[in-house]
């Protein structure tokens, strides 16, 4: 951990008492700041309230009001990444000219390890995990750590990380909007689709947020970019870093790529694509991104191959659960958009019974129709978007379409519609927030429901 003095005796407002907020508050106190933490939950529902107050943090619960700025003088605001910038309390901070950052920015300021940042619409967590596993191979000193949007507060990692370590940080678009000096030596852009437009308002804003991952890079750094889209290739030209492409379609052979079912880095054969343990084209892309980073970091082909042939996937991301009566069950609750579900479906050659549905963000599902038609023979739909998905399923010619209220009702029907040799797949194509607090809770509930109906336990 680097010792910094910039926060000594500063008055800091932390917005949000989630993992990032509470850990930011704790770090700021260690750095000498005076901290007030505000959360919209009632005071008695803030889990870490007592612990925070013991170290000197003032904790306020209830509606986050602009009154905070009338009662206190702040030098800085650290906000939860999920709080939009157009909420009144954040608008007031901007009006007052206060710096507004997020916890990963704080974490980067104290970081002594080499930083690798990973962003993109899909594949961030899997790619982050693959990279970290590869970097932990063939290592004499230090360790590779994962942090950030993967669910581990970055400040808890960088506080302990040494100069011999690597920190592989998953960075969401929400997080990237709140950085100022965060500087990854290697930045990875897996892809960009049209996500979180309810937050960013326009796709242009979303793209600009993603591209902040490379804004502080220079010619000594590396920008690993998916070259399978003309848009992404053009975006890479904006970086001052050395661009290292990866391409599942073999569009560029200047980095990592797939050709005739084989994976290469430049002209060097690594392994066959079908040897990757987790299925799907998206995981070939994730593997290629990880290979590029591993080769920049001088890992051997044997080390890379070992990781890709043994890594069984990240929880809730096309995660294999169990096999029952010839049916293989997969949990892809992390598929919170259409593209993620498309990629999941394309990963299977077997017939699929699909469970889908969730939060209505105002879009239709026509682009999902070709994949439904090709891969899905039965579909069970739930949540706010079930009728919109029903329209897509009918256009795809699916005969078995069942609409239910919730996931608990969906699972028995999905299993009933399935046959030996089928895939039973939860891949919702929607965020979870209409019925679940997070996609993780949704995925865990799916696993419980599957275990109940099959009488078998999740295979670890």
- Residues annotated in the binding site for ATP, as ranges? 120-126
Q: In the structure encoding, which two tokens stand for residue 224, read together?
A: 């690993």
List binding-site positions.
120-126
SS3 396: coil
Q: Which residues, 6+ apart, have CB-to-CB distance to 199 below 8 Å?
A: 84, 173, 174
Comparing CA positions, the residue from 12, 126, 6 lying closest to residue 68 is 12
Distance (Å, whole) CA 318 – CA 333 = 8
What are the φ and ψ backbone dihedral angles of 245, each rounded to 5 degrees?
-80, 155
Distance (Å, whole) CA 167 – CA 147 = 7
SS (H, E, C) 284-295: HHHHHHHHHHHH
Distance (Å, whole) CA 248 – CA 191 = 12
CB–CB of 133/297 below 8 Å? no
From residue 148, how far is each of 98, 155, 291, 406 by CA, in Å?
Answer: 24, 9, 21, 31
């Amino acid at each position: 951990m680097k010792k910094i003095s910039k926060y000594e005796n500063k008055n800091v407002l932390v917005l949000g008492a989630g993992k990032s907020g509470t850990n930011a508050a704790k770090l700021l106190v260690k750095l000498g700041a005076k901290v007030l933490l505000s959360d919209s939950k009632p005071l008695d529902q803030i889990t870490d309230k007592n612990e925070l107050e013991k170290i000197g943090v003032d904790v306020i619960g209830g509606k986050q009001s602009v009154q905070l700025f009338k009662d206190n003088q702040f030098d800085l605001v650290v906000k939860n990444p999920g709080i939009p910038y157009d909420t009144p309390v954040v608008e007031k901070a901007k009006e007052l000219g206060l710096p507004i950052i997020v916890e990963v920015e704080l974490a980067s300021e104290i970081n002594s390890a080499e930083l690798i940042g990973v962003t993109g619409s899909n594949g961030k967590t899997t790619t982050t995990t693959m990279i970290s596993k590869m970097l932990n191979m063939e290592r004499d000193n230090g360790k590779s750590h994962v942090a950030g949007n993967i669910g581990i507060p970055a400040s808890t990692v960088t506080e302990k990380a040494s100069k011999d370590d690597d920190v592989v940080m998953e960075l969401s678009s929400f997080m990237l909007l709140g950085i100022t000096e965060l500087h990854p030596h290697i930045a990875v852009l897996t892809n960009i689709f049209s996500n979180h437009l309810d937050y960013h308002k326009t796709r242009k804003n979303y793209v600009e947020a993603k591209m902040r991952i490379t804004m502080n890079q220079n010619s000594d750094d590396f920008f690993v970019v998916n070259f399978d889209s003309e848009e992404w290739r053009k975006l890479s030209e904006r970086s001052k870093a050395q661009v290292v492409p990866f391409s599942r379609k073999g569009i560029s052979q200047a980095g990592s790529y797939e050709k005739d079912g084989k994976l290469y880095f430049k002209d060097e054969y690594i392994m066959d694509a079908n040897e990757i343990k987790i299925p799907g084209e998206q995981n070939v892309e994730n593997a290629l991104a990880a290979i590029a980073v591993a080769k920049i970091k001088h890992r051997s082909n044997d080390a890379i191959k070992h990781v890709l042939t043994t890594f069984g996937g990240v929880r809730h991301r096309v995660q294999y659960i169990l096999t029952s009566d010839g049916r293989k069950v997969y949990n892809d609750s992390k598929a919170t958009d259409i593209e993620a579900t498309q990629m999941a479906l394309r990963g299977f050659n077997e017939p699929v019974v699909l469970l889908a549905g969730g939060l209505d963000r105002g879009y239709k599902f026509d682009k999902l129709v070709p994949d439904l038609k090709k891969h899905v023979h039965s579909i069970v739909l739930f949540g706010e978007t079930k009728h919109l998905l029903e329209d897509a399923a009918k256009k795809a010619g699916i005969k078995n379409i069942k609409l239910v209220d919730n996931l608990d009702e969906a699972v028995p029907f999905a299993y009933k519609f399935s046959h030996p040799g089928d895939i039973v797949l939860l891949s919702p194509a929607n965020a979870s927030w209409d019925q679940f607090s997070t996609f993780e809770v949704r995925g865990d509930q799916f696993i419980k429901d599957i275990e109940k109906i099959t009488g078998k336990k999740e295979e670890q």
